[in-house]
A = this chain, B = another copy of it.
Amino acid sequence: MQNNLSAKTILFISYNNYTKIFTMSKKLTKRSEDYSKWYNELVVKAGLAENSGIRGMMVIKPYGYAIWEKMQAQLDKMFKETGHQNAYFPLLIPKSYFSKEAKHVDGFAKEAAVVTHYRLRTTSDGKDIEVDPTAKLEEELIIRPTSETIIWDTYKRWIQSYRDLPILVNQWANVMRWEMRTRLFLRTAEFLWQEGHTAHETREEAIAEAEQMINVYADFAQNFMAMPVIKGVKTESERFAGAEETYTIEALMQDGKALQSGTSHFLGQNFAKAFDVKFLSKKGKLEYVWATSWGVSTRLMGALIMTHSDDNGLVLPPKLAPVQVVIIPIYRKTAQLKDITVKVNEIIAKLKAKGISVKYDDSDNYKPGWKFNEYELKGVPVRLAIGPRDLENNTVEVARRDTLTKEVVSMDGVDTYIENLLHDIQQNLFKKAEDYRNTHITEVNNFDEFKDVLENKGGFVSAHWDGAPETEEKIKELTKATIRCIPFDNKPEEGIDILSGKPSKQRVLFAKAY
């Protein structure tokens, strides 16, 4: 559907060169040559997303969206299992709502897309359209960059008594932040996400909720995305605008850069105070409501791609692959295809009975070699190839995407074999990413070591920090590294700050980050 060669070109290529040309056009820049270029090419060539005609905004293509749908479905299930319900709030937020929480508006004002008019009209020469100046809004509306303000304006109507609490609501939505430098999935002006917004009677309950949700995110990242993450707390300067505490999950990409993959915020009573949301407690006292918010976005697509993929293309963990198994017939004559198809249909029925998604690509537009490359590029975890000799021998060739290895196995019990294989692949991907991550957490004890690791090895650098935002800022200026988090499982340890030399009570994790 979306190949890069124009039809005109194709018509003048003889059939024999077909495979070769297509293969070439699909070939990616190597990661070792230019990681960033590799990523951009992969996203486009694997049919995941592409830039639209509008600055910073992407089109999520069907294959990319199918992966996002798998993520959504699983996350939604986990949210519901933890007692949350979905709802939907307005896209546009009056400018005055933003001003109500001081830090919040500071955080988002600089990237706000502003609606000022509500009508177009024909120009006086009748040839074009223009904004109708008579249709100016009294108050400008902002396209939500996040929905705390509109939601707390709503919660004011919903909450009077402790009986109305907790409110455990999530929203699946698009949001907009006018980023200047954008990259597909990782940083786009518009992105898709979910944002949970909860309201509670007590501080403790709200903190427990925020912690629960960062655990849900970590569970999802590790067990579905096969992506190891470090759970921790953000420093003040990396905190969400308006939060008292931000929890984060941090992943490590193959180029040694960290990627913040999900955050959960304990908002204290900040938004309740900004929007005057009080409740009558069990003791009959009027008190401000406690809040959390938490979100993950289509950025996770970028994380997924960069964690596992290789120079041949995408590598998908089976649990999130839209197609888990692709079957390709190898044949010369139509009669052979017929026989193969009979056998394939048996296999498909067995796999489907096990809940495994299968695609049988018996199209005759392309040769098997082309198809092999195509599904490798698209990251399908398992490929089966079946030819006339396999029929004779009652075998099938099984190729796994993660290791690029092949095996010929017996047709008997192939469904169970594949079921186990998918499980193995899921585990292996996690293990591989975890090994990489674990060998890329480096303890350093002075600033030279710190810089050396950042420049030559990459990954997380575990170093002492004196706790001062100024030191953190200085380190960022000098090295571009930021404190990704203070891990939850950190051990107290006396030391001295790598830059300031001041006393420190614990190590924190630095890294260059996306």
Query: Which of A's residues lie within 8 Å of B, judged by CB?
Result: 1-3, 5-8, 10-11, 50, 52-54, 57-62, 65-66, 68-69, 85-95, 97-99, 105, 109-122, 128-129, 131, 140-143, 150, 153-154, 157-158, 160-164, 167, 169, 173-174, 176, 178, 190, 192, 279-280, 284, 365
Contacts and interface: CB of A to CB of B under 8 A. Distances in A.
3 closest Cβ pairs, A-B complex: A7-B161, A7-B160, A62-B85
Nearest to A127: B99
A131 B114 contact: yes
A119 B109 CA distance: 6
A58 B87 CA distance: 11
B59 A154 contact: yes
A362 to B, nearest CB: 16
A8 B10 CA distance: 75
A85 B65 contact: yes
A441 B86 CA distance: 39
B86 A115 contact: no
Contact of A52 (B57, B90, B162): B90
A280 B8 contact: yes
Contact of A92 (B50, B89, B113): B113
Integer count of this chain's copies in the complex: 2
Contacts of A143: 91, 115, 143
Given A131-B116, A163-B7, A109 B92 contact: no
Given A98-B120, A109-B122, A119-B178, 8 more contacts: A7-B163, A65-B85, A91-B190, A105-B120, A111-B119, A114-B116, A118-B178, A120-B142
A171 to B, nearest CB: 9
Given A111-B119, A153-B53, A164-B2, A86 B65 contact: yes
A116 B3 CA distance: 35
A127 B110 CA distance: 16
Contacts of A92: 54, 57, 113, 176, 190
A113 B115 CA distance: 7
Contacts of A160: 5-8
A117 to B, nearest CB: 4
Nearest to A122: B109
Given A66-B86, A69-B86, A116-B117, A109 B129 contact: yes
A390 B98 CA distance: 56
Contact of A112 (B87, B120, B178): B120
Given A66-B86, A111-B119, A167-B1, A129 B95 contact: yes
Contacts of A69: 86
A174 B192 CA distance: 12
Chain B CB within 10 Å, residue with most, of A97, A98, A117: A117
Nearest to A162: B7
A216 to B, nearest CB: 19
A52 B158 CA distance: 12
A158 B114 contact: no
Nearest to A151: B59
Nearest to A85: B62
B112 A118 contact: yes
A10 B161 contact: yes
A158 B85 CA distance: 38
A315 to B, nearest CB: 22
Contacts of A190: 90-92
Contacts of A279: 7
Chain B CB within 10 Å, residue with most, of A88, A94, A129, A142: A88
